[in-house]
Amino acid sequence: MPPDIFFAGPGLDRADALRGQPDEIAALAASPTARQLEWEFGLPAIDEQGRLRWGPVTDPELFLGLDGDEPRFSVIGPEAGDLRAQFNLLGHLSATEAPVFAAATSLASWHRRHGFCASCGAPSEIHRGGWGRRCTRCGTEHFPRVDPVVIMLAEHEGRVLLGRQPRFPPQRYSALAGFVEVGESLEAAVARELFEEAGVRAHSVRYVGSQPWPFPSSLMVACTALVDDPALVVDTTELEDARWFTRDDVAAALAGEDAASFVAPPPFAIAHSLLAHWLAA
């Protein structure tokens, strides 16, 4: 497993057994030890020490779980503005609290986007402590979804394939990635995405690790794969560029050297952990 995958820690005790007991959740919300997550700029608020900010419980819409014996709640926070402008905040977030940030962010985003029943179109209401919604007309229950995304390093003779998108900061390269499609395995998704974006035929796919990515609610599944022919055909509708990089290139980028041939992904991205894992292996 790669070291220190951000967002991937244990987080709170989610206390699933309590979610179907509204009276118990109400009692927890009234507890003197209960705390409610504060929001700022459309995301959970982070203090100067990199920890989440908690205040008194005023509107316990979402039951996030238990921190030991202390209940934790959140409102359905407001829609974030430009998320890219907020990413610098993640560099200050404590790794131990990152899983709570991820869960609260994804859960609130799902509620904002699923106010109506997908079966009959009637309004839905919060259900199971916020971990579901129930239709007010037909009673259909809906639960938060997770969208799997494969993110991968293709390897050929000691080099790895990285690409850059036009929206990346200057000189940044990262692992290629794409959503898993319906009726598709993870291995097939890795091979398809590498061929579609870079024109390479991959095989021997190996799972490395995973990361919840709460923008809005993806599960990044990190993999490696082997390529026999390194010739590239870059899909310029997806990528601005793609190149092969050596171990020395990757080591220099992860170390932040001025002379590095590319800028590595930030530490909170699983692509950074994937590169570190590949380098160590």
b/e map 77-92, b = 16+ CB within 10 Å:
beebeeeeebeebbee
What's the distance, Cα to Cα, between the start and end of the chain in Å?
10
pLDDT of the residue at 78: 81
For residue 96, CA distances in Å to 29, 101, 163 come to 23, 10, 30
- Mean local confidence (pLDDT), 249-255: 98
Residue 119 has pLDDT above 90, yes or no: yes
Residues 6+ apart with CB under 8 A from 183: none
| Mean of the per-residue pLDDT values of the chain | 94
- Mean local confidence (pLDDT), 132-139: 98
pLDDT of the residue at 233: 98
**Phi, psi dihedral angles at 56 (to 5 degrees):** -65, 155
Where in the chain is CATH 3.90.79.10? 147-280
Residue 1 has pLDDT above 60, yes or no: no
pLDDT of the residue at 9: 87
pLDDT of the residue at 3: 58
Residue 163 has pLDDT above 90, yes or no: yes
pLDDT tens digits, 172-215: 999 999 999 999 999 999 999 999 999 999 999 999 999 999 98
Residue 244 has pLDDT above 90, yes or no: yes
- Mean local confidence (pLDDT), 90-113: 92
Answering whether pTM is above 0.95, one says no
pLDDT tens digits, 8-47: 988 999 999 999 999 999 999 999 999 999 998 888 999 9
pLDDT of the residue at 85: 60
CATH superfamily, region 147-280: Nucleoside Triphosphate Pyrophosphohydrolase (3.90.79.10)
